[in-house]
Amino acid sequence: MKKIFNSFSGLALVIGLSLGHGIKHFGQGALTVIGPLLKASMGLSEVSYALIFASMNVSSGLSNIPAGILSDMYRRKIAWMLAISMFTISFGYLLIGITQVYFLILIAVILIGFGTSFWHAPAFGTLAARYPQKKGFALSMHLTGAQIGNTIGPPIIGGLISGITLGSLIKFSGFGWENVSIFLVIPMITTGILVLLLFKSAGVESNSNWSFDEYLQRTKTLINDKIILGLIVLGAMRASIHTSFQLWLAVYLKEELNYSAWVIGWHIALITAAGIISTPIMGILSDKFGRKPVIQVSMTLMAIYLFLFLIFDEGLGLVILIGLLGMFFFSVMPIVTAATMDRVPKGSEGSGTALNFIGMSLIGFMAPVISGIIYSEYSFQGISIFSGIIAVGGILLCTFLPMKKVN
C-alpha cells in the first residue's frame, strides 16, 4: 500500500508541476504575439525590438544562478521558489500593460525573463532527483506541459487581442494587447498560490541541504567537466535556433504577410503543437536507447526543415513545415537536459539544471540581436539560413560529444 501511495504521490507531482509549467509558458508565449504589436505601437527598429528579447534572455540566464543555489541548498522550499517564479512574471506583464516607455518595457521583460527561468532549477532538479532512472521521461513530460501552454497560448492571446469573427455566429472585437497583458497577471498569481498550497512536498526526496561552501565546490566540479560544458553549448545552440526563428517568424507574418494577431497566434502554436505528442515519446526513447541518437536525429531533421523554408515561405507549405519543425524544435531540449542530469552527482540536480539554462540564455543571448540584423537585411529567408547553419553546428557537436551515464 505504501508503494502504491508513493507512486501516486510522485505521479501527482509530475502532473502538477507539468500543469504549472504549462501556465508559465502560456504567459511566456504571449510575449511572442504581443511583441509585434508593441513594436508597431512604439515604432521600434528591428535592433531596438531585438534588444527587448536579448534583455529578457540575459535576465533569464542570470536568474538560474540564484535558482540553482537555492534549489540545492534549500530543497524543502521548492514550492516557494516556484511561486516566486510565477509572481515575478505577473509583475512584468502588469508593467507592459500600463506603460509604453521603452526603458520600463525593458524592466518588464527583465522581470518576465527572471521569473520564467527561476522555475527551471527547482522543478527540473526535483523531477530528476525523484525519477533517477527515468529522467528522460520525467523531464519530457514536464516539457510537454510547457508545449501545451505554448500551443494554446498564442491563438488564445491573439484572439483576445484582435478579436474573432466567424460568420454571423461569433463577432468579438478584442480587448487590445495592453489589456490582455494586464489580464495575464491573474493566471500567473493564481498558479503561484496553488503551488504553495498543493505542492509543499516538492523536494522531500532530498536527504540533506548543502552549505554554500559545499555548493561552490560541487559547482566547480560540474564546470570542470568538459562533457557538461559541451552539453551546455549544445543546449545554447538549440535555444538560439528556437529564439531566432520564432521571434522573427511572428514579425514576418505581421509585416510581410499582413496576418492578424489571431492568425499569427495559430502559426506560432504550430511550432509546439506536434511536440505535445513527440516530446514524451522522445523521452522514453532516450531512456531506452540513449540520448545521443535521439538528439542527432532531431537536430538533423530540424536543419533540413529550416532550409526548406527558403522554398516554402507562405501558404500551406509554410504551415506544414512549421508543424513538422514543431515535432523536434522544443522537444529536444529535455533530452539535452537529461543528458546533463546523467552526469551530475546526486544532490546537484538543481545546479546542473541551472548551468544548462544559463548556457541556453547567456551563450544564446546575442541570437535575437544578430538575427535582427540579418532579418533587416535578408528578411525571413536570412533567418532560415542562420538557424539552419546553427542546427548543422549542433549536429557536429553532438556527434563528437560522449554521452554516458556516470552517476
Instruction: Count Cα neighbours of 322 within 13 Å in the Cβ-side half-sphere.
Output: 23
Separation CA 266–CA 392 (nearest Å)? 28
How long a stretch of residues is the chain? 407
Grid coordinates given for 233: 553549448
Q: Which amino acid is at 104?
A: L
Q: Say what the alpha-carbon torsion angle 248, 251, 256, 262 is, to the nearest 10 degrees.
A: 130
Output phi, psi for 260, to 5 deg: -75, 165
Q: List per-residue pLDDT tens for the chain, 407 residues long.
A: 344 334 435 567 777 888 888 898 888 778 888 988 898 889 988 888 888 888 887 888 788 778 877 877 777 788 888 899 999 999 999 999 998 899 999 999 999 989 988 888 788 777 777 776 676 777 777 778 877 887 888 888 888 887 776 666 667 777 888 899 999 999 999 999 988 888 776 655 555 556 666 667 777 777 777 888 888 889 888 888 888 888 888 889 988 888 887 788 788 888 878 778 888 888 888 888 888 999 999 999 999 999 999 999 888 999 999 989 888 887 888 888 888 878 877 766 667 777 777 777 666 567 777 888 899 889 899 999 999 999 999 999 998 888 765 44
Separation CA 407–CA 286 (nearest Å)? 17
Helix (H) or strand (E) holding 165: strand 164-166
Helix (H) or strand (E) holding 201: none
Nearest-5° Cα angle at 126, 124 to 131: 95
Q: Which residue has the cell 551515464?
A: 405
pLDDT of residue 2: 41
The residues facing 164 across adjacent strands are: 172
- Domain regions of the chain by residue span: 2-400
Q: Which of 125, 113, 126 is nearest to 62 (CA)?
A: 113
Classify domain 2-400 at the CATH superfamily level: MFS general substrate transporter like domains (1.20.1250.20)
